[in-house]
């Protein structure tokens, strides 16, 4: 297990459409384990493989801070149903210190494979629906601020450590 470094939003890997996983093997299991460690170390709700420089359709989600809470592992996830919309405050580990208010579905159903490669479906509402959409967006090269009308609407998070470089803002 290892903590991987998380790419910044301006890395071109984050703009690629990630490739489908063909085989669930030992190296994929290791990547998933490392992604879970990395997500937890960063206090994130989710993490997608492109964020650690691997352009594969893999993401992990944990909506509760409880360590024993099961992590949702998504391999080749696809949204099969969405319903409703709401405006939510959202951020991303690849753009630390900022958030924006964007529309997300009230509930989504996702079809994916789990860490053993077995197909499953998950229906999520509220924060889980948001996390599912956010992480699957990453696999398609989309970042949350793409859903804003204008980047002027990005808000600085108050608790950000001092000396935030202005050049970290997307152009």
As annotated, the active-site residues are 135
Contact 37, 1 (CB under 8 A): yes
Specify the residue for token string 């290892």: 2
Q: How far is the CB of 146 from Ni ion (least distance, A)?
A: 11
CB of 21 or CB of 42, closer to Ni ion = 42
If binding is defined by CB under 5 A, does position 45 make contact with Ni ion? Answer: no
Residue 27 CB contacts under 8 Å (≥ 6 apart), including other chains: none
**For residues 118 and 151, which CB has a smaller minimum distance to Ni ion in the complex?**
151
Closer residue to Ni ion in complex, CB, 24/34: 34
Bridge partners of 72? 61
Give the phi and the psi of residue 38 in degrees, each rounded to 5: -65, -45
Q: How many residues sit in the footprint of Ni ion (CB under 5 A)?
A: 1
Minimum Å gap between C-beta 104 and Ni ion is 13
**Contact mark string toward Ni ion, 67..96, x via CB under 5 A:** -------------------------x----
- Whole-number Cα distances in Å, 114 to 23, 64, 77, 102, 138: 12, 19, 9, 28, 18
List contacts with Ni ion (CB under 5 A). 92
């Amino acid at each position: 297990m290892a903590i991987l470094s998380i790419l910044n939003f301006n890395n071109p890997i984050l703009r690629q459409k990630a490739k489908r996983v063909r085989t669930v093997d030992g190296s994929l299991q290791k990547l998933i384990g490392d992604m879970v460690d990395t997500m937890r170390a960063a206090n994130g709700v989710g993490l997608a493989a492109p964020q650690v420089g691997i352009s594969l359709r893999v993401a992990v989600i944990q909506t509760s801070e409880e360590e024993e809470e099961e992590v949702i592992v998504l391999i080749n996830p696809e949204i099969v149903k969405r319903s409703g919309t709401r405006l939510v405050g959202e951020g991303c580990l690849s753009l630390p210190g900022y958030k924006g208010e964007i529309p997300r579905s009230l509930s989504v159903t996702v079809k994916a494979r789990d860490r053993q490669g077995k197909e499953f479906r998950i229906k999520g509402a509220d924060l889980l629906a948001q996390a599912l959409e956010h992480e699957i967006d990453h696999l398609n090269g989309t970042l949350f601020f793409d859903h804003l009308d204008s980047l002027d609407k990005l808000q600085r998070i108050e608790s950000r450590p001092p000396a935030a470089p202005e050049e970290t803002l997307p152009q």
